[in-house]
């Protein structure tokens, strides 16, 4: 009898614990979702808002509206439905892209439907695991046709550390008699950040496993092209480093180009960048505004250059057996940040203002093993083995000589 009397209290405690766990799972999901959206917006590249939000202890739902700050009508709606469990939350939904009202979209022989996605969220480890399957798609716009043969996108991670893997089976762009085909296309990305994206590091790898260009005048083929990128924002500066590996690009059965290039842009003021991103978000939220750049963004853009940004060409190693040319070298270009108040970023469309900016450039580049045909074209002795390119206050000199007329006319 005493054991039977204990059944009801035990069941009540278990029911209460389950209800508390369910409620806690919903609260944790909402908290992590809000934190993640806030930090993604802090990058300044996306504008995100929620609508039709329904929060519950068993289920939640809503719509995320994602767009670039100046997307000109383009945005993506992410519809989500979350079923909260004690051990995990299951999510599912659809993606609804919105484009400007021009052109038409057709799926070919099947009815076009918004792609579905699904994911799971663990409230104890705060980890997310999502998957999106893309169906084949054909887009017609202004006489051009873009064909996607389907793909898959995986998103994994937790607050402060996200990974993305995307694979597109094949992309094809047709424009009259010209066509470009790429694929498979693989993107691997990792984004690690502190709260508010005050500091962050993003690493990206984009691989084109096959590229073909066809036109009446030119045919190009490449087996694999890879672009490695690393973007870092720390307390003092923003640094962007990239490496391009061309593999082999062929034309008419011969190697047209092969090799790699590594470069880095650094010394972009970190505080100014954060201020600029915040200003862009305010301008985007305000909509079309008559306020001139000079009063809004121009001062921040000048401050972005306060540490004298520099572009380092760490290495160039390119070769063209087909043309008999090669390029190996390295160099640097630095921007003079003194008296920034004299510059007006909003007037860069004027030749005089562009000249003011050009005069602040200094640097040098060394081209080793100079091909004789390049020396001949530049008016240098045919036995010239190295080309020293110097930039002094925007003026370019080649091995101490002024630019030849053929290049001076291009400035």
* Whole-number pLDDT of residue 278: 79
| CA dist., res. 258 & res. 245, Å (int) | 8
Beta bridge partners of 333: 311, 363
pLDDT at 160: 86
pLDDT at residue 285, as a whole number: 62
User: φ, ψ for residue 381 (rounded to 5)?
Assistant: -55, 145
pTM confidence score: 0.83
Cα–Cα dist 62/77, whole Å: 10
**Peptide bond preceding 57 in cis form (omega within 30 of 0):** no
- Of 364, 357, 352, the residue nearest 392 (C-alpha): 364
Q: Are 337 and 305 in contact (CB under 8 A)?
A: yes
Euclidean distance between CA atoms 376 and 383, whole angstroms: 10
Q: pLDDT truncated to tens, each residue of the chain (411 aa)?
A: 455 555 656 555 555 555 555 666 667 777 778 887 887 777 767 778 888 888 877 788 888 888 776 555 577 888 989 888 777 888 898 888 776 554 444 444 334 567 889 999 887 788 889 999 888 888 887 888 888 888 999 999 988 899 999 999 989 999 988 999 998 999 999 999 888 788 999 999 999 999 999 999 889 999 899 999 999 999 999 999 999 999 899 998 899 999 999 999 999 999 999 888 877 777 666 655 545 555 677 888 899 999 999 999 999 999 999 988 999 999 999 999 999 989 888 888 889 989 999 999 999 999 999 999 888 888 888 888 999 999 999 889 998 888 776 666 555
């Amino acid at each position: 009898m005493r054991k039977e009397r204990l059944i009801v209290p035990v069941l009540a405690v278990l029911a209460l614990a389950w209800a508390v766990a369910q409620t806690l799972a919903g609260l944790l999901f909402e908290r992590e979702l809000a934190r993640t959206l806030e930090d993604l917006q802090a990058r300044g590249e996306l504008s995100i808002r929620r609508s039709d939000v329904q929060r519950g202890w068993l289920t939640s739902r809503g719509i995320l509206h994602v767009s670039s700050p100046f997307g000109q009508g383009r945005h993506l709606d992410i519809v989500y439905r979350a079923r909260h469990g004690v051990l995990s939350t299951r999510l599912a939904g659809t993606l609804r892209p919105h484009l400007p009202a021009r052109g038409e979209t057709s799926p070919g022989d099947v009815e076009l439907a918004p792609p579905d996605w699904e994911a799971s969220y663990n409230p104890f480890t705060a980890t997310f695991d999502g998957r999106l399957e893309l169906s084949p798609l054909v887009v017609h716009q202004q006489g051009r046709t873009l064909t996607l043969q389907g793909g898959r996108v995986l998103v994994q991670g937790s607050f402060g550390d996200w990974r993305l893997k995307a694979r597109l089976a094949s992309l094809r762009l047709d424009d009259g008699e010209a066509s470009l085909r790429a694929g498979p296309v693989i993107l691997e990305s990792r984004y690690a950040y502190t709260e508010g994206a005050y500091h962050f590091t993003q690493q990206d790898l984009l691989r084109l496993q096959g590229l073909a260009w066809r036109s009446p005048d030119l045919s190009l083929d490449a087996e694999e092209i890879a672009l490695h990128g690393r973007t870092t924002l720390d307390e003092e500066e923003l640094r962007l480093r990239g490496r391009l590996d061309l593999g082999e690009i062929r034309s008419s059965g011969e190697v047209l180009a092969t090799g790699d290039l590594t470069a880095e842009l650094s010394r972009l003021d970190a505080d100014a960048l954060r201020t600029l991103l915040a200003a862009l978000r305010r301008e985007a939220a305000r909509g079309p505004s008559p306020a001139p750049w000079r009063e809004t963004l121009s001062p921040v853009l000048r401050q972005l250059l306060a540490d004298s940004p520099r572009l380092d060409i760490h290495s160039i190693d390119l070769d063209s057996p087909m043309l008999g040319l090669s390029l190996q070298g390295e160099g640097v270009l630095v921007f003079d940040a003194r008296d920034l108040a004299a510059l007006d970023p909003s007037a860069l469309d004027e030749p005089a203002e562009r000249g003011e900016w050009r005069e602040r450039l200094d640097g040098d580049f060394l081209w080793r093993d100079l091909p004789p045909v390049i020396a001949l074209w530049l008016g240098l002795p045919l036995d010239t083995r190295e080309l020293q390119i110097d930039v002094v206050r925007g003026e370019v000199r080649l091995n101490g000589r002024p630019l030849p007329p053929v290049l001076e006319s291009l400035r």
